[in-house]
Amino acid sequence: MMDELTQCRLCPRQCGADRLNGKTGFCGAGRTVHIARAALHFWEEPCISGSAGSGAVFFSNCTLKCVFCQNYKISADNLGYPVTEEELAEIFIDLQSRGANNINLVTPTHFAPQIKVALDMARGRGLSLPVVYNTSGYERAEAIRSLKGYVDIYMPDFKYYSNDVAGICSGAGDYHENVTAALDEMYNQTGRPVFDENGIMQKGVLIRHLMLPGHLSDTAHIINYVHSRFGDNVYFSLMSQYTPVRHIAELEPLNHKLDMRAYNAAVDLCARLGMENVFIQDGGAASESFIPEFTGEKK
């Protein structure tokens, strides 16, 4: 599996970096996995967190690096500490022993080969929880295909519909074709959602969209696409907690909070289309204090 790192093409950037021999590509990740935090996490959708929490492992580095990233300390500043595959397997087992509902791999794409090795080790030691692949959606479909048998629940963002917006916000002018092909592959693998007796998802796809200020029409395109492509065979989470971070104070319109009238219009669109499996949020846009603090230290 590790030979995938010799000419890394794990994500659509396709840098070709020889990560086994000290080189790095756009994401900044090398041979060794770095994580910023591993802990029970209670702030995902109810079918993921439940009351026991989701066993979240936040990986350092990112293949997308959005200008508005709310976790920029780990995505762009690469905050985190190194772990071997052996240690990562132990982290998964520890989260299971603490009662987690699942193993939630947050921004895992650039470490997929190492994660597969760690999951094999952990399964051999009794890991039985569903595995959640919590991704930006900027994925190669063939990379998703290689995860078959490792992942039970895909939780991708669908960040942008327009490649123009994706180019401006993430330097990813090929986001649309990649996210849509990846979503098809994710759904092909999992099929319709399955829940346990407590309403915790065991299998399926949950697509998330964080609404951006000034981009309601992009959101509307995404809602229409998800509805027409998948109907109620996937879950959709419409998120309102966009938080303008300090370093984009001059960047219109991303330097504003989300106008809740735009959010309500998007909720109305979901209702008009008759979408039933939709998570919506109450309350106003979040402040920066809602962003978890990542120290990059081992807990």
Interhelix angle 216-230/260-273, rounded to 10 degrees, is 20
Q: Shortest CA distance to 185 belongs to which of 201, 205, 203, 202? A: 205
Cross-strand bridge partners of residue 58: 37, 106
Smallest distance, Å, CB 14 to ligand SF4?
5
- Tracing tokens 């492509």 back to the chain, one arrives at 229
Pick the closer one to ligand SF4 by CB: 171 or 296: 171
Q: How far apart are CA 285 and CA 167, in angstroms?
A: 24
Pick the closer one to ligand SF4 by CB: 11 or 74: 11
Residue nearest ligand SF4, Cβ-based: 25
Q: How far apart are CA 109 and CA 112, in angstroms?
A: 5
Q: Site residues (CB under 6 A) for ligand SF4?
A: 8-11, 13-15, 17, 25-27, 29, 63, 110
Smallest distance, Å, CB 42 to ligand SF4?
29
Collapsing DSSP states into helix, strand and coil, what is residue 137? coil
Smallest distance, Å, CB 36 to ligand SF4?
17
Smallest distance, Å, CB 167 to ligand SF4?
16
Pick the closer one to ligand SF4 by CB: 11 or 205: 11
Pick the closer one to ligand SF4 by CB: 151 or 285: 151
Pick the closer one to ligand SF4 by CB: 29 or 275: 29
Smallest distance, Å, CB 180 to ligand SF4?
19
Tokens encoding 119: 């999951």
Collapsing DSSP states into helix, strand and coil, what is residue 239? strand
